[in-house]
């Protein structure tokens, strides 16, 4: 496995997620403008906030998973299942570069 290209891929994915997270954060902290004056518009914005908050949380979790994968590359444990210690199938890593468990362990939860 070419770890340096995996690492590049993980870092590129992380940068993309960071940019999206920053936009979601801006939206939630209203640095993109004050709440709308109109009540109906406020309601729409608040509903929007819930969607953006959920997106924000998912992006943060995805970034954390990528960070863990990058740490595992640095420690030389990348591609090894954190549960059973078996190698994670190359196809699975290709589809999910941040995977920390092999397919069998992931299916067991």
Could you list the residues that contact Zn ion (CB under 5 A)?
A: 81, 83-84, 102, 105
Cβ 96 to Zn ion shortest distance, Å = 14
Enter the DSSP assignment of 45: H
Query: Radius of gyration of the chain from Cα atoms?
Result: 18
3-state secondary structure of 80: strand
Smallest gap from residue 97 Cβ to Zn ion (A): 17
Cβ(77)–Cβ(53) under 8 Å?
A: no
Of the two residues 83 and 89, which places its CB atom closer to Zn ion in the complex? 83
For residue 66, the tally of other CB atoms under 10 A from its CB is 21
Task: Kindly tell me which of 41 and 86 has the beta carbon lying closer to Zn ion.
Answer: 86
Q: Which is nearer to Zn ion, 65 or 102 (CB)?
A: 102
């Amino acid at each position: 496995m070419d770890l340096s290209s995996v690492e590049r891929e993980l870092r590129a994915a992380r940068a993309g997620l960071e940019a999206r997270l920053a936009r979601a954060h801006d939206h939630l902290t209203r640095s993109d403008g004050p709440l709308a004056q109109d009540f109906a518009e406020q309601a729409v914005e608040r509903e929007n906030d819930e969607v953006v908050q959920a997106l924000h949380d998912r992006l943060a979790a995805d970034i954390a998973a990528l960070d863990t994968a990058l740490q595992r590359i640095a420690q030389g444990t990348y591609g090894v299942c954190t549960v059973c210690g078996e190698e994670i199938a190359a196809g699975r890593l290709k589809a999910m570069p941040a995977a920390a468990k092999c397919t069998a362990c992931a299916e067991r939860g």
